[in-house]
């Protein structure tokens, strides 16, 4: 119960007590007054009758009876008696039930508030002798009617006063509530709704001192809340920046990206509304960039890259698009409700922006971006999407491709042939394959120009897990092998399988060795041990290296090449078009052939620089006796 209602209820109870008390006392006073009046009337009438009967002229029995009858007929007395000195009744007049007038007072009232029996008696004398006694009993019917009428009036007045007080209390309650609502509740609600911002509604009952003080307190509180709200907003904004924004680039951070991707995966809706694509791109040489450039320059470069990609997404996809920086070198963004062809075109445009923003690393050439794209759908597990995206990125890193590696969910299921993704699953699979020897070589004839006149095969390492329907190509399992640090063991297995094949088959064999394996400690010694004692097979073996490794990791590549060449193994160099700076080291490496393919071949018709580069390559190759394979692939 509210304080105001308690106050008014207590006042109302007090008023009711006062009214009831006043009524009771008034009725009691009226009753006492009527009792006194009846007794006085009885006494005075008895005295008068006794004096009248004491007169000598009224001592006759007939006269006495007449006087008594006249007094009784007045109706003011119920009983009129004249008794002799011995107490014998000489004359008696008594009012019967039929003789009483109709009373207004109800019986219950007469029973509840009875009047006293008012009797009076006086002696009738003649000189010194006693003639008799006059005794009267007053008729209280008229007094009871008067008392009833007075009581009805008093009670009616009390009820009317109570009703008027109740109406007054209701009006007062409404007025007070309206005043409290207008000057207190409405202003407090406005204060809460605006959170301290904006103006409050004006006070309407400024004449009430208490409400005026409360209104002033609300105004002071409003000012304090405004200041507190402004400070809180600043803190919230700062926390949002810390929680959801990368401090260097100003892009969204990993937490925000993961939460948004999880929300999209858990969002119900149609197939179109709840599906989309995710792109991840990684700066593979961020460590080298930090070593070659000032930290402030690198931070500004990362900010520029992020803003350029963001602007592209705003134009090509949605003005509300955003880009997240997952860690130092990984960036990602989502393309909700974007179909596959459109997503691929957007990813290609992003790849062009990234390629245009590469930084030179000295003799190692330009820094590299690796990009991956996959799709997602509502109800899919977050780890499945991230695993698929991570696998696509590993494939891009292993292949050394500057193009976007697109691995949709359906293709991943078909190509992995039942193998689940995830680092632990790959670790178990590769460890089992290395321990149990589940590897084999898939051979294809080399039809390139450098193989003319030779019976040459290209070998691809395959992994056949027991119970699996199809073997896994090295194109699938080598990226996670690089990530897990076992690519050197896998390439060593390929080297051993290749030597065994050469021992039983004529011709030559080409095997590709990844840069990660060459950089792995102990890999060169392992290969040397396998080649030792098998000069005939080693002479027919060709190991193909990546041109990027020759530029970025020159010393380890040259050391590995010297190990191979000491065992009569020939060397090939692939992807020269993506790393033309390798031309500077051809004379040191002295490979058997150089493969040139991709953009350089396609651009030579329109680009003088491409034509000059190809010309320089041919002349250098001719001088050092290296074959050149120009493939448009």
Question: Residues in the chain, how many?
Answer: 633
- CA-to-CA distance for 488 and 490, rounded, in angstroms? 5
Taking only the tens place, the pLDDT of each residue in 122-139 is: 887 877 777 888 888 877
- Cβ neighbors of 561 (< 8 A, separation 6 or more) are 545, 571, 589
- Cβ neighbors of 199 (< 8 A, separation 6 or more) are none
Angle at 66 between CA 61 and CA 68, to 5 degrees: 95
- CA-to-CA distance for 417 and 468, rounded, in angstroms? 7
What pLDDT does 417 receive?
Answer: 46
Spelled out in words, what is the top-level CATH class assigned to the domain 245-416?
alpha beta
Whether CATH 3.40.309.10 fits 435-631: no
- CA-to-CA distance for 526 and 132, rounded, in angstroms? 162
Res. 187: pLDDT tops 70: no
DSSP string, 599-611: HHHHHTTT-HHHH
Taking only the tens place, the pLDDT of each residue in 267-285 is: 876 555 678 899 999 998 8
CA distances from 206 to 183, 212, 424, 485, 593 (A): 9, 5, 75, 81, 98
Q: Which runs of consecutive H residues, i.e. helices, occur in 135-208?
A: 141-180, 186-194
Nearest to 463 by CA among 487, 495, 486, 441: 441
- Cβ neighbors of 29 (< 8 A, separation 6 or more) are none
Owner of token pair 């976007």: 404
Confidence of residue 215 (pLDDT cuts 50, 70, 90): confident
CB 435 within 8 A of CB 426: no
Number of Cβ atoms within 10 Å of the Cβ of 543: 24
- CA-to-CA distance for 498 and 161, rounded, in angstroms? 117
What pLDDT does 299 receive?
Answer: 92
What pLDDT does 537 receive?
Answer: 92
Span 201-224, mean pLDDT? 67
Taking only the tens place, the pLDDT of each residue in 484-506 is: 888 899 999 999 999 999 999 99
Span 347-376, mean pLDDT? 86
Helix (H) or strand (E) holding 540: none
Spelled out in words, what is the top-level CATH class assigned to the domain 3-94+105-164?
alpha beta
Taking only the tens place, the pLDDT of each residue in 428-482 is: 888 888 998 899 999 988 877 666 667 889 999 998 888 776 787 787 778 778 8
What pLDDT does 605 receive?
Answer: 54
Confidence of residue 633 (pLDDT cuts 50, 70, 90): very low
Owner of token pair 């605006």: 194
Contacts of 235-238 with CB under 8 Å at 24 or more apart are none
Q: 278 — phi, psi (to 5°)?
A: -130, 135
Q: What are 82's strand-pairing partners?
A: 91, 134
Span 375-390, mean pLDDT? 87
Positive/negative CA dihedral, 605, 611, 613, 614: positive
Q: Are strands 456-463 and 472-473 parallel, antiparallel or unpaired?
A: antiparallel
Nearest to 482 by CA among 410, 396, 394: 394
CA distances from 575 to 293, 442, 484, 542, 588 (A): 27, 22, 25, 16, 18
- CA-to-CA distance for 346 and 281, rounded, in angstroms? 13
CB 558 within 8 A of CB 590: no
CB 46 within 8 A of CB 121: yes
3-state secondary structure of 132: strand
Name the DSSP class of 400.
T
How far is C-alpha 444 from the chain's CA centre? 57
Average pLDDT value over all residues in the chain: 80
Owner of token pair 């699979």: 429
- Report the predicted TM-score, pTM, of the whole model to 2 decimal places: 0.48
* Residue-range domain boundaries for the chain: 3-94+105-164, 195-244, 245-416, 435-631
Q: How many CA atoms lie within 13 A of 503 on its CB side?
A: 11
Q: How many CA atoms lie within 13 A of 565 on its CB side?
A: 13
- CA-to-CA distance for 222 and 609, rounded, in angstroms? 71
């Amino acid at each position: 119960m509210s304080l105001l209602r308690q106050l008014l209820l207590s006042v109302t109870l007090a008023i009711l007590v006062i009214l009831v008390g006043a009524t009771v006392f008034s009725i009691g006073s009226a009753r006492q007054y009527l009792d006194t009046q009846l007794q006085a009337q009885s006494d005075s009438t008895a005295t008068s009758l006794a004096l009248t009967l004491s007169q000598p002229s009224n001592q006759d029995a007939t006269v006495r009876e007449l006087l008594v009858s006249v007094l009784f007929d007045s109706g003011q007395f119920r009983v009129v008696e004249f008794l002799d000195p011995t107490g014998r009744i000489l004359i008696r007049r008594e009012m019967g039930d039929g003789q009483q007038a109709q009373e207004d007072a109800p019986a219950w009232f007469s029973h509840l508030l009875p009047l006293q029996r008012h009797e009076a008696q006086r002696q009738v004398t003649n000189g010194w002798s006693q003639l008799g006694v006059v005794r009267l009993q007053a008729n209280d019917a008229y007094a009871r009617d008067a008392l009833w009428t007075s009581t009805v009036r008093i009670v009616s007045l009390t009820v009317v006063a109570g009703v008027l007080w109740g109406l007054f209390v209701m009006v007062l309650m409404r007025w007070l509530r309206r005043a409290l609502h207008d000057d207190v509740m409405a202003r407090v609600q406005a204060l809460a709704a605006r959170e301290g911002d904006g103006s409050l509604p004006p006070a309407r009952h400024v004449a009430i001192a208490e409400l005026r003080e409360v209104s002033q307190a609300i105004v002071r509180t409003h000012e304090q809340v405004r200041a507190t709200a402004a400070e809180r907003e600043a803190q919230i904004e700062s926390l949002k920046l810390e929680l959801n924004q990368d401090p260097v680039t100003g892009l969204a951070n990993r937490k925000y990206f993961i939460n948004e991707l999880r929300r999209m995966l858990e969002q119900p809706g149609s197939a179109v509304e709840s599906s989309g694509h995710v792109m991840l791109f990684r700066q593979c040489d961020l460590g080298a960039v930090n070593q070659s450039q000032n930290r402030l320059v690198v931070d500004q470069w990362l900010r520029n890259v992020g803003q350029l990609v963001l602007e592209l997404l705003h134009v090509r996809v949605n003005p509300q698009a955003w880009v997240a920086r997952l860690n130092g070198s990984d960036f990602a963004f989502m393309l909700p409700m974007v179909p596959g062809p459109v997503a691929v075109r957007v990813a290609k445009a992003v790849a062009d922006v990234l390629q245009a923003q590469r930084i030179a690393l000295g003799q190692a050439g330009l820094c590299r971006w690796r990009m991956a794209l996959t799709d997602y759908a509502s109800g899919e597990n977050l780890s499945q999407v991230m695993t698929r995206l991570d696998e696509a990125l590993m494939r891009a890193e292993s292949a050394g491709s500057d193009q976007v590696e697109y691995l949709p969910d359906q293709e991943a299921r078909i190509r992995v042939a039942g193998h689940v993704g995830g680092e632990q699953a790959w670790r178990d699979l590769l460890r089992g394959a290395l321990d149990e020897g589940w590897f084999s070589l898939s051979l294809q004839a080399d039809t390139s120009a450098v193989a003319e006149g030779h019976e040459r095969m290209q070998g691809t390492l395959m992994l056949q897990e027991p119970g699996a329907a199809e073997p896994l190509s090295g194109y699938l399992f080598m990226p996670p092998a690089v990530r897990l640090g076992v690519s050197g063991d896998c390439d060593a297995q390929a080297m051993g399988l290749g030597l065994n094949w050469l021992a039983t088959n004529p011709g030559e064999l080409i095997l590709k060795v990844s840069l990660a394996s060459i950089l792995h400690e102990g890999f060169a010694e392992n290969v040397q041990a396998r080649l030792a004692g098998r000069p005939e097979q080693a002479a027919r073996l060709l190991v193909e290296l990546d041109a990027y490794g020759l530029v970025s990791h020159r010393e380890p590549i040259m050391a590995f090449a010297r190990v191979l060449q000491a065992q009569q193994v020939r060397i090939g160099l692939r992807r020269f078009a993506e790393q033309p700076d390798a031309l500077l080291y051809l004379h040191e490496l002295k490979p058997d052939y150089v493969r040139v393919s991709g953009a350089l071949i396609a651009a030579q018709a329109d680009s003088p620089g491409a034509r000059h580069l190809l010309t320089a390559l041919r002349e250098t190759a001719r001088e050092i006796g290296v074959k050149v394979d120009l493939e448009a692939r």
